[in-house]
Structure 1
Amino acid sequence: MPLPLANARRLAERIVAEITPFCERIDIAGSIRRARPEVGDIDIVCLPLPGRLYYIELRCTHRGRISKRGDQYMLVELPGGIQLDLWFSHAETDDLFAPQPCNHGMLLLARTGSAAHNIHLASRAKKMGLHFHPHRGILRGAWPGAPVVASDTEEDIFHALGLDFVAPERRER
């Protein structure tokens, strides 16, 4: 059941306020961020502080029920049939053989959408010999260990694709 944008934004802001103490970075994503008049679910992207993911999960189960859980996401059924899609980015790792930049910007971009805009960016990456991976970033190849070109911020990703930043409200195609 779709929610009016104002109601969805208020709910998302309350959720963000509840879990912000456990996060290094946190952003509202999805159709709320694109300012769509009606919203189907609440999308939030966060970078949990080390050792704090458990507390985020506790906050979510206090008011809802986890319906699905993966390494990078948690789907929570909230009262009233509203779904919260919570996406977890990872911090930069400086592993000697496989360093990875933070992927917060890429998750925020991919989870904000729109789907058509993401397809446009993926096509642009492909034309440039790059790969758009919605969880890792813009890669220099499509194989599992391909190096990441950009993923920390949306601005980095647009720049890597030779594009000017596009505001979320303008990402409908």
Structure 2
Amino acid sequence: MNGKGGLVSKGEKLPRTTMLPIAQHIVDVLGDHCQRIEIAGSLRRERPLVGDIELVAVPQYEKDLFGVADLSRNLLKHFLVQKGVNMPKCGDKYIQFMYGSHKVDLFMPTPETWGSIFTLRTGSHEFNMWLMTVRSGQVGVRFEDGRLLRRYNGELIPTPEESDVFEHLKLEVVPPNMRDDGRWVRYVADGAGQ
């Protein structure tokens, strides 16, 4: 995986048919260092034009003598460093790197927050705003830092799967390709809400 160099994207969008194989290649290369990794963002929503690649991954961690994961030893991040990948942003929950001329945003939730992060990173922005400001208030939950919490006591609601998020929002899972251009409003109104 050669992530060195490359041109910083200036907002140029490319056809999904060009970007999807690139994203899948990155997933294939990084997969051995993850418990789980998936494509999110506009690629997952099947948009015809894509600006960047968004991935959500639960990294694997080095284990100590007793088999307990050492959260300071993120094997995915270690792999990227070892390969010399330029990472302008490199934190515990988010890494940004270039793959050729393509910007890659890599979000790293815990297994307990996978569903909420995967939902939000899939988008769209308008769909997320509806979930976070309208729907969540109707059902007594709230989003904070990408996590789903009970509104009345701030308790974390585990969301190991995207379906868990929709269950707590009292909705059927809205397909990714229905999360743009207000299509989810009609989808929910047509009976997909519980």
TM-score range, shorter chain: 0.7 to 0.9
Partners of 2:125 and 2:83 in 1: CA distance: 31
Give the match's secondary structure for 1:65: coil
Q: Does 1:111 align with 2:111?
A: no
Closer, same or farther: CA 57–35 of 1 in aligned 2, 3 Å: farther
- What percentage of aligned pairs have identical amino acids? 31
> Per-residue displacement from partner, 1:49-78 (whole Å, max 9, x unpaired)?
122634445337737421112220001123
Closer, same or farther: CA 36–125 of 1 in aligned 2, 3 Å: same
* Cα contact 1:74–1:86 (8 A) shared by 2: yes
* Aligned equivalent of 1:45, options 37, 52, 56: 56
* Cα contact 1:60–1:76 (8 A) shared by 2: no
Query: Partner residue of 2:106?
Result: 86
Matches within 5 A, 1:114-133: 114-122=124-132, 123-133=134-144
Closer, same or farther: CA 149–58 of 1 in aligned 2, 3 Å: closer
Gaps of 5+ in 1: 92-101
Give the match's secondary structure for 2:88: strand
Matches within 5 A, 1:4-153: 4-51=15-62, 53-59=74-80, 62=83, 64-80=85-101, 82-91=102-111, 102-122=112-132, 123-136=134-147, 138-141=148-151, 146-153=154-161
Query: Partner residue of 1:98?
Result: none
* Cα contact 2:60–2:76 (8 A) shared by 1: no
Give me the TM-score of the superposition, normalised by structure 2: 0.75
Offset at residue 132 of structure 1 (A): 1.9
Bigger relative contact order (CA 8 A; separation at least 6): 2
Q: Tell me which moved more, 46-55 or 66-75.
A: 46-55
Partners of 2:80 and 2:118 in 1: CA distance: 21
Give the match's secondary structure for 2:166: helix
Partners of 2:152 and 2:125 in 1: CA distance: 20
Q: Tell me which moved more, 163-172 or 147-156.
A: 147-156
* Cα contact 1:63–1:78 (8 A) shared by 2: no
* Cα contact 1:64–1:79 (8 A) shared by 2: no
Partners of 1:168 and 1:5 in 2: CA distance: 15
Bigger Rg, structure 1 or 2: 2
Query: Partner residue of 1:169?
Result: 177
* Cα contact 1:126–1:132 (8 A) shared by 2: no
Gaps of 5+ in 2: 1-11, 63-72, 183-194
Closer, same or farther: CA 142–133 of 1 in aligned 2, 3 Å: farther
Q: How many corresponding residue pairs?
A: 159
Partners of 1:35 and 1:61 in 2: CA distance: 33
Give me the TM-score of the superposition, normalised by structure 1: 0.83
